[in-house]
Homo-oligomer: A and B are copies of this chain.
Amino acid sequence: MTTKDYTAAVAGLGSMGFGMASSLVKAGITTYGNDISDARVAEFVAAGGKSDPLADVAAQLDCLILVVVNAAQTESILLQDKLLSSMKPGAVIVSCATVPPEFAKAMEAHCQKHQLHYLDAPISGGSVKAAQGKISVLASGTADAFSAAQPALDAMAEKVFTLGDAAGPGSAMKSVNQLLAGVHIAAAAEAITFGLSQGVDAKTTVEVISQCAGTSWMFENRGPHIADGDYTPHSAVDIFVKDLGIVCDIAHSSKFPTPLSAAALQQFLAAAGSGLGREDDSAVAKVYARNGGLNLP
């Protein structure tokens, strides 16, 4: 199948979904975009997308991509039996939200009842890479699910990790990544503010530690936000309240203790609880500074 014959829809035109849907359009794929924000849909139409409601175009879709916030929103779409039964047998659902692996397995079984493939496909990379068609996908699913999603994956992703032949491992690996990402952001904030408490300025800490064994991807990416005092939200505090919450919930269900994730989650909760939920996730540094009586840059 060429991209010209391929039809896709993207549910959720947020910072990731909009870029991914636009990448499909750029690749020549007929793409329908859905979002609760009319303004966002209008923007997508201006970028070459189509806006017909999902229910009206379901029968034409080769691929339905869900770039929504969580399991509840994913479920609210996939449990519309009328929508799924209108889709062509052999079409694929590509589910990108961060969800528990057990939930992904349940959704796969549900879609298979409708003769639809399901790709457990959490994403990573941020909005800039989404707009460039260069996201990473942590994917698992049947060979048929991968094959049915291939033209869309080619258009949206730079890297597709193939993690297993059924739903579950994709979501599990995303949770592993979010565990580390969340802990590392909180650790960067803890380290930079601890340095401040000892008279070391934030810019020096960021510059020196980036060249030492204490560095991390998140330290190098978020550290400068703290050193510059710029909390423009690239990824919000609320995202890590959600994602570390999912990590801790999954771990709890499995009776697996995760003390660092739990401690980091509490710091993000303190940030969100004190009104910083919509700021950049590096604003967790403000919780540390407040508790230590320090002034941030």
CB-nearest residue of chain B to A198 = B172
Pick out which of these stretches binds chain B: A7-15, A44-52, A144-152, A207-215. A207-215
Pick out which of these stretches binds chain B: A30-38, A53-61, A68-76, A216-224. A216-224
A179 interface neighbour in B214, B221, B260, Cβ under 8 Å: B214
A181 CB–B CB distance under 8 Å: yes
Pick out which of these stretches binds chain B: A21-29, A185-193, A225-233. A185-193
A194 CB–B CB distance under 8 Å: yes
What residues on B are CB-neighbors of A187 within 8 Å? 179-180, 183-184, 187, 260
A168 interface neighbour in B175, B192, B199, B204, Cβ under 8 Å: B199
Distance in angstroms between the alpha carbons of A193 and B187 in the assembled complex:
19
Cβ distance A40 to chain B, nearest Cβ, rounded Å: 25
Residue pair B190, A172 in contact (C-beta under 8 Å):
no
What residues on B are CB-neighbors of A254 within 8 Å? 197-198, 292
Residue pair A266, B259 in contact (C-beta under 8 Å):
yes
Distance in angstroms between the alpha carbons of A262 and B205 in the assembled complex:
21
CB-nearest residue of chain B to A170 = B200
Given contacts A172-B199, A208-B163, contact A251 B194 (CB under 8 A): yes
What residues on B are CB-neighbors of A197 within 8 Å? 251, 254, 256
The secondary-structure label for the interface of chain A is helix
What residues on B are CB-neighbors of A282 within 8 Å? none
What residues on B are CB-neighbors of A4 within 8 Å? none
A92 CB–B CB distance under 8 Å: no
What residues on B are CB-neighbors of A266 within 8 Å? 259
Residue pair B101, A198 in contact (C-beta under 8 Å):
yes
The 8 closest A-B pairs by CB, nearest first: A180-B214, A216-B216, A172-B198, A177-B214, A256-B292, A197-B256, A259-B263, A263-B263
A interface, CB within 8 angstroms of B? 101, 124-125, 136, 138, 159, 161, 163, 168-169, 172-173, 175-181, 183-184, 186-188, 190-195, 197-200, 204-205, 208-209, 211-219, 221, 247, 250-251, 254-264, 266-267, 288, 291-294
